[in-house]
């Protein structure tokens, strides 16, 4: 069989922040897969452990000593079997032994190896030939929080999404134009702005939250008029990073404001209404299911998305579904450890009519597989940045896929 695994190779590489991470090669009789793991700056407390306590070097040794010998001779097409085996080898609930990043890189490289063994792109291997829907790109154009250094914005990400773009390439272009216009407006509004950017290539100015939002909304409106793509703004508040457990409030250091849970709800609700926001991610801290549910009830035409709230975890999502906390979920494979785990959470979300958003992380590699996962998992949105090589790698891969699909390609229904 052409997809029998013959070798498993692990190595250490660097991500976009210069941090060490793991890359895995899977070699089959007739194919080859390579995948690497990203890293988040604002990680949810319920995520699996990224690596063994000793770090990346230990993870590599465990691939060589435990994972590799178990996988050699297996069929890379048996994704669920291999992902189950990774759980068995690890033996913990949070991948504390192998590390979730290790497991995910192995799992994803296995899928890629199986696809190449039969000369197929990854998205078709995972979901079949008839798959043809491309996601809308959700791009970070301005931000701060844990994604930037120095005195910057309290809110972590200001986003743009072109919801009426006729093609993916048009959508990607619109996001770039918004990013460019935001940069121009920042320089006009603040002569001391030197063009600083954060981890994801977004502008990182020193200004108050709502002033920044006005600039992004203005840029979105202008690009919408010029390109006819219907750009709208969004936010990733990353509220867990603002929450003070001691004071029981959200501390906006740059804005000089503290808000309790009720005030935070009213603040976010006003921003959604005043600025016609299409998307709000993590507006409350990661255990506040009740506030998520209340905001979701009050907002009718926006995605209220949980990242730290759910961490791609099926059980946490089910808890949220019961109270209708949020209506959307971020999907990051390395938060749960394997492709199968990520797909199972996505399946539960779709069944409950939650919108799944496949997402990059702030510390990324040039790995472009999430472009394929967004299509294979039928996710209407991919969050993957606008500029910088490791972000553009995903955008460019989707552009290639769109070209490959030709006349069959269409944008997702959202």
In this prediction, residues 38-63 reach a mean pLDDT of 90
Q: Are residues 23 and 100 in the same domain?
A: yes
- In a shared domain, residues 169 and 35: no
pLDDT digits (tens, 9 = 90+) for 82-114: 999 999 999 999 999 999 999 999 999 999 999
Q: Is the pLDDT confidence value at 150 over 70?
A: no
- Determine contact, residues 320/292, Cβ cutoff 8 Å: yes
Q: What's the pLDDT at 169?
A: 97
Whole-prediction pTM value? Answer: 0.96
Q: Are strands 249-252 and 257-259 parallel, antiparallel or unpaired?
A: antiparallel
Q: Is the dihedral of CA 345, 350, 355, 357 positive or negative?
A: positive
Asked if 213 and 332 sit in the same domain, the reply is yes
Claim to verify: residue 333 and residue 216 sit in the same structural domain: yes
Q: Are residues 163 and 298 in the same domain?
A: yes
Range of the domain at 150: 133-411
Asked if residues 255 and 325 have their Cβ atoms less than 8 Å apart, the reply is: no
Residue 126 belongs to a domain: no
Of 282, 300, 301, 302, residue with least CA distance to 292: 282
212 in the same domain as 87: no
* Whether residue 113 is found in the same domain as residue 41: yes
Same domain for 149 and 94? Answer: no
Mean per-residue pLDDT, 70-74:
98
Number of domains within the chain: 2
pLDDT at 120 over 80: yes
Partners of 36 in the beta sheet? 23
Q: What SS3 class is residue 268?
A: helix
- The CATH number for 113's domain is 3.30.390.10
**Tokens matching residue 181:** 């216009």
> 224 and 173 in contact (C-beta within 8 Å)?
no
Give domain status of residue 125, yes or no.
no
Same domain, 61 and 141: no
State how far the Cα of 240 lies from the Cα of 156, in Å rounded to an integer: 11
pLDDT of 297-314, one tens digit each? 999 899 999 999 999 999
Residue finishing a domain among 58, 86, 120? 120
In a shared domain, residues 147 and 255: yes
- The residues annotated with a catalytic role in the active site are 200, 332
Residue 164: inside a domain = yes
3-state secondary structure of 314: helix
Q: How far is CA 134 from CA 138, 278, 385, 393, 411, in A?
A: 13, 19, 16, 16, 5
Please report, for the domain that includes residue 253, its CATH number.
3.20.20.120
Question: Is residue 82 a part of any domain in this protein?
Answer: yes
Does residue 171 share a domain with residue 77?
A: no
Residues 404 and 344 in one domain: yes
């Amino acid at each position: 069989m052409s997809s029998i695994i013959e070798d498993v190779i692990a190595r250490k590489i660097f991500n976009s922040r210069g941090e060490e991470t793991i890359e895995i090669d899977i070699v089959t009789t007739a194919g080859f897969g390579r995948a690497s793991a990203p890293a988040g700056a604002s990680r949810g407390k319920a995520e699996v452990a990224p690596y063994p306590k000793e770090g990346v070097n230990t993870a590599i040794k465990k691939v060589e000593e435990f994972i590799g010998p178990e996988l050699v001779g297996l069929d890379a097409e048996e994704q669920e079997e291999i992902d189950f085996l990774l759980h068995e080898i690890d033996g913990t609930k949070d991948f504390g032994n192998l590390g979730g990043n290790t497991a995910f890189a192995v799992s994803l490289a296995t899928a890629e190896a199986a696809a190449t063994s039969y000369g197929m792109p990854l998205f078709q291997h995972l979901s079949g030939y008839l798959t043809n829907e491309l996601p809308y790109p959700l791009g970070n154009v301005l931000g701060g929080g844990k994604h930037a250094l120095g005195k910057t914005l309290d809110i972590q990400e200001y986003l743009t999404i072109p919801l009426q773009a006729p093609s993916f390439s048009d959508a990607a272009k619109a996001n770039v134009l918004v990013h460019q216009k935001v940069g121009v407006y920042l320089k006009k509004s603040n002569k001391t702005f030197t063009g600083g950017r954060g981890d994801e290539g977004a502008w990182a100015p020193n200004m108050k939250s709502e002033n920044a939002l006005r600039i992004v909304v203005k840029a979105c409106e202008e690009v919408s008029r010029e390109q006819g793509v219907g750009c709208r703004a969004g936010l990733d508040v990353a509220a867990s990073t603002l929450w003070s457990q001691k004071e029981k409030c959200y501390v906006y250091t740059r804005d000089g404001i503290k808000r309790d849970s009720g005030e935070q709800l009213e603040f976010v609700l006003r921003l959604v209404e005043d600025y016609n926001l299409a998307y709000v991610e993590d507006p409350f801290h990661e255990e506040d299911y009740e506030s998520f549910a209340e905001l979701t009830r009050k907002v009718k035409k926006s995605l209220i998305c949980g990242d730290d709230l759910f961490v791609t975890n099926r059980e946490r999502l089910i808890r949220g579904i019961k109270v209708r906390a949020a209506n959307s979920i971020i999907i990051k494979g390395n938060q749960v450890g394997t492709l199968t785990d990520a797909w199972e959470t996505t399946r539960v979300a779709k069944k409950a009519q939650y919108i799944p958003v496949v997402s990059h992380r702030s510390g990324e590699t040039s790995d472009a597989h999430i472009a394929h996962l967004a299509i294979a998992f039928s996710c209407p949105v991919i969050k993957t940045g606008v500029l910088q090589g490791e972000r553009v790698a995903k955008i460019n891969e989707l552009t290639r896929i769109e070209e490959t699909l030709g006349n069959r390609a269409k944008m997702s229904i959202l």
